[in-house]
Amino acid sequence: MGRTPLFAEIVEDGRRTGELREDVIPQQVGNVLRDIYLGTLYRWFREAENEPEGRLERELMQASELLLNGIVTRP
């Protein structure tokens, strides 16, 4: 099997430092982050002519925040 993908490595680092919940699976979260990025990019590209400027960035931020709110540790 190959090297661990970058997103999964970042998630594992977050688990080690206590910033992310211990029960999250780094590879799975990495896959979801990649899927969010590619799905958002695909929708933006298909609808780019009719979309306001900055929509891609806003949608990526909103989707990322949604995911991260589910995996961060709570005080």
Tens of pLDDT, residue by residue over 34-69, are: 899 999 999 888 887 776 777 889 999 999 899 989
- Residue 35, token pair as written in the block: 């899927």
d(CA 65, CA 51): 21
Task: Confirm whether pTM is higher than 0.85.
Answer: no
Tens of pLDDT, residue by residue over 6-22, are: 889 999 999 999 999 99
Write down the H helix ranges in 1-75: 6-17, 26-47, 55-71
